[in-house]
Structure 1
């Protein structure tokens, strides 16, 4: 048990950190010990607050503009990737799409004239170093430089864990995880060389949260999207001093060509009713967040994951549970 001497020493130690109690006399602060402070007098009523916010006089809507920015989008030929590409164009941004499909949807060819932007497309295999590096160099040359990216290229497998084959699992990891990794590496190097900062947005998933979506067995897909989400924090810290922001979006069930191909009646019912918002997500539910993260409006946002799931990540709708 500590002796009284120890308590006395500890008391003196703690007192050394204590700030003297002060009282105000006139326009000066005076210590209660009657020793007058040497600090110069300061009248708070006349102290000016420095203006440090460069956006205080800028319209909020102007900060969401993407005019003058060029964004790379992987997996942008159709579905969610194209919806985000289109949203970028609507806000004045140029788009450079990389996708494994030979051609994007027909609407892609109308975006340049409709929105007075540059839109380029390169068929690319994000799992091949030579293909990805060649396509990346091509779009940089065509656009003059990038300001950010969205990595939306992804594939899925819905099958029982013990029936998920080696080759397909390897392909899913190569596209979803390493495709994101290598694209991010190319974009980061490019942005660092340009010395203008930028923004990278990775498309993760509600599956990345460790959630078991009802009626689906997505073990390898869950694992791959957890890998995508896991890349956000380390890169946000490592690239932050270069002015590069890194965030992810984790969608719930979104209507798209990929999810349409996985639907059967009971699953479709789950998609439409299990989330508290009682419907499937739409690509347009994600595009405002994606464009926000690419814009100057999110200048102080990095290292974050944005869940857009209709509430599915928080829990299953009670009415759907009761029905099942």
Structure 2
């Protein structure tokens, strides 16, 4: 008799605990929903308690076991506290979704150092802080875990001249190589580390660009002639977070309608 698991079992997250940073809205909430629908218990964290309460209520309405902790992911002590509290309340952390992020628009010659540090601290430094804490306290001792970092296609290259987000691009480029470097180190512990690089999705972060340029114009640069929606990250995050992705690590998956495949596009 074959011992090969059914594909449904490979994607099943029953009994798993997932911590999602920046999980109160947008892409973070979409991914939390996917993990919860696959059976995981979900802990959300972001800065604003009101947003988290609303997000958890939305997840619970879908039958998902969800909790929240308000914290500023850019602060090391706050990140450590989130991990410790999650462990105390749920016992372990099997899946870390490093999604918290920020952007800043300004020409490079006028970009303030304060804004640069804000973006880098949240988009790059927090990845390390959360991964290190989760690794030390849960994943390395148990010799298993899944880490999914949220990069961006902005981390794979430069921008058209209309986009002036040098700190954001730099931080997401750091997220890409952080993913590869950590995957190389922590594979020995049975931990996979991968990244998703989204293209344009409607969100608070992209609202300014979409209002200025237009969603239709942005979509026209995609081979699929569309931007991302409320379902398009679900399959990718579930693959990386589940046993279906147990032999995948150090990889960057662009979910962008094909934009990054177009040389000079």
Which TM class, normalised by the smaller chain length? Answer: over 0.9
Q: Which has the higher mean CA deviation after the structures are superposed, 251-260 or 289-298?
A: 251-260
Question: Could you say which structure has the greater relative contact order, defined with CA pairs below 8 angstroms and 6 or more residues apart?
Answer: 2
Pairwise CA RMSD: 2.1
Q: Is 2:45 the counterpart of 1:106?
A: no
1:43 aligns with none
- Residue by residue over 1:192-222, the C-alpha shift from the partner in whole angstroms, topping out at 9 and shown as x without a partner, is 4541401000000001111324631221110
1:208 pairs, out of 155, 168, 189, with 155
Match of 1:136 in 2: 83
Distance 1:307 1:114, change over 3 A: closer
Give the one of 106, 119, 122 matched to 2:69: 122
SS of 1:98's partner is strand
2:99 is matched with which residue?
152
**Corresponding residue SS for 2:195:** strand
Are the counterparts in 1 of residues 76 and 126 from structure 2 also a CA contact under 8 Å? no
Runs of at least 5 residues in structure 2 that lack an aligned partner in the other structure: none
Taking structure 1 as the reference length, the TM-score comes to 0.76
Q: Secondary structure at the match of 1:263?
A: helix
Q: Which range moved further: 281-290 or 309-318?
A: 309-318
Based on CA coordinates, which of the two structures has the bigger radius of gyration? 1
Cα distance between partner residues in 2 of 1:312 and 1:257: 21
- Is this contact kept in 1: 2:180–2:251, CA < 8 A? yes
Q: Report the counterpart of residue 88 of structure 1 in structure 2.
A: 35
1:177 aligned residue: 124
Which of 225, 236, 239 is equivalent to 2:172?
225
Tell me how far apart the structure 2 counterparts of residues 281 and 114 of structure 1 sit (CA, whole Å): 22
Specify which of 223, 228, 231 is matched with residue 284 of structure 1. Answer: 231
Q: For the structure 1 residues 165 and 94, does the alpha-carbon distance in structure 2 shift closer, same or farther, using more than 3 Å as the test? A: same
Aligned residues of 1:214 and 1:270 also touching (Cα < 8 A) = no
Per the TM alignment, residue 282 of structure 1 is displaced from its structure 2 partner at its CA by: 1.7
Aligned pairs, number: 264
Between the aligned partners of 2:14 and 2:197, the Cα distance in structure 1 is: 26
Alignment CA distance shift 1:59-1:211 (3 Å): same
Check whether the contact 2:71–2:79 (CA below 8 A) recurs between aligned residues: yes
The equivalent of 1:30 in structure 2 is: none
Contact 1:72 1:95 (8 Å CA) reproduced = yes
SS at match of 1:258: coil
Confirm whether residue 189 of structure 1 aligns to residue 164 of structure 2. no
What does residue 6 of structure 2 align with?
Answer: 59
Give the distance between the partners of 2:127 and 2:206, measured in 1 at CA: 20
Q: CA deviation at 1:110?
A: 4.5
Question: 1:249 aligned to 2:206?
Answer: no
- TM-score (norm: length of structure 2): 0.92
1:317 Cα offset (Å) = 10
The CA distance in 1 between the partners of 2:110 and 2:201, in whole Å, is 25
Among residues 145, 156, 167, which one is paired with 2:114 in the alignment?
Answer: 167
Distance of 1:55 and 1:236 partners within structure 2: 28
The answer for unaligned runs of 5 or more in structure 1 is 1-50, 319-324
